[in-house]
Amino acid sequence: MQLLHPSTVVLLIALPDTHEASRKSVASLSTWRAMRRLVEQKAQAAGLPLLSSDQLIDHRGSFGNQLSSAVSAAFARGYERVICVGNDCPDLSPVDLRRAASALAAGQLPVGPDRRGGLYLVGFDQARFKADVVAQLPWQTGQLADAMRQFVSSQDAALLELPVRTDLNNSADIIRIRWTGQVASRLLNTIRQALSPTRTAACCGHCGSGLALAIDPSSGRAPPLFA
């Protein structure tokens, strides 16, 4: 596969699948594995290499420190630009990743805001990356998107805002999310065989395919990756 931006890498910020499923009781272990595979497929479709944070760091300390350390580790591997994403935004598309990569190559810093004031995507270039500052941003809060905009402004960089998208923070999100087009069909095909038949399945109710996810309806809010 020919890489469109060989010095740019997609960095999946995620715990090992067993830890992710334990921390986020929204869905089964097999579902989180399928969601990870979906991110890998999207990076490949975008023509971008992919690293996972669990390959780079031990996930100790605050989330901000973990993300900052993972980005620094990606730079240490020779990449000049890093696009951070989570595994909990099935609406993320290869087009989003390509736009983010092109923005970074042009000197812009891309952000993808979610509907709660957080981010499902953020890009950094090595020249402007401030590890200590990034670690102290209000990660996993509804103030993150605004704080990131202020950070970009402080770097005298142009900002590229991608479309607002929905991530999956709890079982209600999975039920309400609107699965459309290729996102629905690709996710359905990816996870249909992975889902545990012994767990409760809930249909999203918004697509003709009857997409179902294995979820625990009694689970509470699980912390998202970026907000």
Give residue-wise pLDDT tens across range 186-222.
Answer: 555 544 444 444 443 333 333 322 223 333 333 333 3
What pTM value is reported for the model?
A: 0.75
- pLDDT of residue 83 exceeding 80: yes
Give residue-wise pLDDT tens across range 29-70.
Answer: 677 778 888 999 999 999 999 999 999 998 788 999 999 999
DSSP state of 219: -
Contact status, residue 138 vs residue 147, Cβ threshold 8 Å: yes
pLDDT of residue 222: 34
User: How many other CB atoms are there within 10 angstroms of residue 127's CB atom?
Assistant: 10
DSSP state of 191: H
How confident is residue 90, by pLDDT bands cut at 50, 70 and 90?
confident
Contact status, residue 99 vs residue 8, Cβ threshold 8 Å: no
Q: Is the torsion defined by CA of 91, 183, 31, 53 positive or negative?
A: negative
The string of DSSP codes covering 17-63 is HHHHHHH-TTB-HHHHHHHHHHHHHHHHHTT--EEEGGGT----S-H
Q: How many CA atoms lie within 13 A of 99 on its CB side?
A: 15
Q: Which runs of consecutive H residues, i.e. helices, occur in 112-180?
A: 131-135, 144-154, 171-176
pLDDT of residue 211: 28
Distance CA 183, CA 138 (A): 29
Hey, what amino acid is at 219?
S
Give the strand pairing for 212-214 and 201-203.
antiparallel
Give residue-wise pLDDT tens across range 93-151.
Answer: 999 999 999 999 999 999 999 988 999 999 999 999 999 999 999 998 999 999 999 99
If one counts the domains in the chain, the total is: 1
Residue 9: which domain range? 1-227
DSSP state of 162: P
pLDDT of residue 112: 97
- pLDDT of residue 86 exceeding 70: yes
CATH number at residue 221: 3.90.550.10
Distance CA 1, CA 3 (A): 6
- pLDDT of residue 183 exceeding 60: no
Give the strand pairing for 81-85 and 119-125.
antiparallel
Hey, what amino acid is at 156?
D
Segment 2-31 shows an average pLDDT of 68
Distance CA 111, CA 123 (A): 6
